[in-house]
Amino acid sequence: MRAKKTAADEMIRGPRVESAIDAATSLLGFDDARSPRNLRDPGELYPKPPFEKQTQPWPGLAGLMTPRPDHGEESYRGSGRLLGRKALITGGDSGIGRAAAIAFAREGADVAINYLPEEEADAKEVMTLLGEADVNAVALPGDIRDEGFCRKLVDDAARDLGGLDILVNNAARQHARQSILDISTEDLDWTFQTNLYALFWITKAAIPHLQPGSSIINTSSIVAFDPSPQLLDYSATKAAILNFTRCLAKQLADKGIRVNAVAPGPFWTALQPSGGQFPDHLAEFGADTPLGRPGQPAEIAPLYVLLASNEASYTTGQVFGATGGEVGP
């Protein structure tokens, strides 16, 4: 005899649970998580070392990398989590910034990207993708080492987007050197101006535009916790970004503006072949992580979406890692 269906059965098997699974899957920006095809070993999801030896002049282009990075061009699915929001992303032409721009747009946000003029080829690809998302997309090339440009960048973004409520400070300079003796004052200035001074100038210019509920997201790095000997100046700036984030979060909490950071581990971006790694190291890039490979930008974009969204409303002054299993935040 068939047992009578109870209320507990309805809770376990009923449409409410099915709807909850669908909603959770949608929030993550991925396809149906109940499908066995999506239960996969994370270490095998993307290419693993050894990689082809390759170098590029600074600042590098994703379009010239082998293999090409995955920024979520084909995989990211939005669900309206950032509908109507206005975001400025530095370094938005490639790498983590590009992945965040694609994800934000597919979540319904209008997006302005900043990049160097030399990165125009990558930026054009991003602008095409943002246009396909049917949002307002703005390209704002220029060198953020200039304080005057940083102020103009923010003002132009706020004007062209019709406001500003998400700021992602992501652009960075990374150049590997064997020894402190190999780092010139010019090198030091270039790294600090790009990674720290610009972050300070852009954030300072953005705050008057931000309303309660706005979000600032800074890109730090695993090297803030476990510095690489060949990245002395870069590691110093990424550690400073952590305390900048934590301090600013306390300053802006009473204004209703949240400030958080993301700390990536080794990610396959144009930063690496354009001087960020020595060519011999690049061939084995990411092999020493527990997952045995570098991350792809598409894998970290959901963290930026979460921190920009209302779902992280009680989260400020925090650092979130995506490191392939390495010790992080």
Residue 230 has pLDDT above 50, yes or no: yes
Residue 60 has pLDDT above 90, yes or no: yes
Q: Quick one: pLDDT at residue 298?
A: 98
What band does 36 get if pLDDT is binned at 50, 70 and 90?
low
What rounded mean pLDDT belongs to the chain?
Answer: 91
Q: What are the phi and psi torsion angles at 111 (to 5°)?
A: -135, 130
| pLDDT tens-digit readout, 235-249 | 999 999 999 999 999
Residue 234 among the catalytic residues: yes
pLDDT digits (tens, 9 = 90+) for 158-208: 999 999 999 999 999 999 999 999 999 999 999 999 999 999 999 999 999
pLDDT value at position 17?
Answer: 42
Q: Which of 166, 109, 110 is nearest to 139 (CA)?
A: 110
Question: Is the predicted pLDDT of residue 29 greater than 90, yes or no?
Answer: no
Q: Which two tokens stand for residue 215?
A: 């979000």
Could you give the CA distance from residue 206 to residue 229 in angstroms, rounded to a whole number? 34
Strand order in the sheet with 86-90: 137-141, 110-115, 86-90, 166-169, 215-219, 258-264, 319-322
CB atoms under 10 Å from CB of 257, counted, come to: 22
> Is the model's pLDDT at 24 over the cut of 90?
no
Q: Which residues pair with 13 in a beta bridge?
A: none
Separation CA 296–CA 174 (nearest Å): 18
* pLDDT tens string 201-228: 999 999 999 999 999 999 999 999 999 9
pTM over 0.75: yes
Distance CA 329, CA 312 (A): 18
Report the percent of the chain where pLDDT is more than 90. Answer: 87
Q: Which of 46, 115, 234, 304 is catalytic?
A: 234
Residue 8: pLDDT band with limits 50, 70, 90: very low
In the chain, domain spans = 60-322
Max CA distance (Å), the chain:
84
d(CA 249, CA 251): 5
pLDDT of residue 23: 52
Strands 166-169, 215-219: pairing kind: parallel
* CB-neighbour burial class of residue 206 (10 A; exposed 0-12, middle 13-18, buried 19+): buried
pLDDT at 6: 43
CATH 3.40.50.720 fits 60-322, yes or no: yes
Asked if 206 and 308 touch (Cβ cutoff 8 Å), the reply is no
Q: Let me know the angle formed at the C-alpha of 177 by 172 and 178, rounded to the nearest 5 degrees.
A: 150
pLDDT tens-digit map of 252-296? 999 999 999 999 999 999 999 999 999 999 999 999 999 999 999
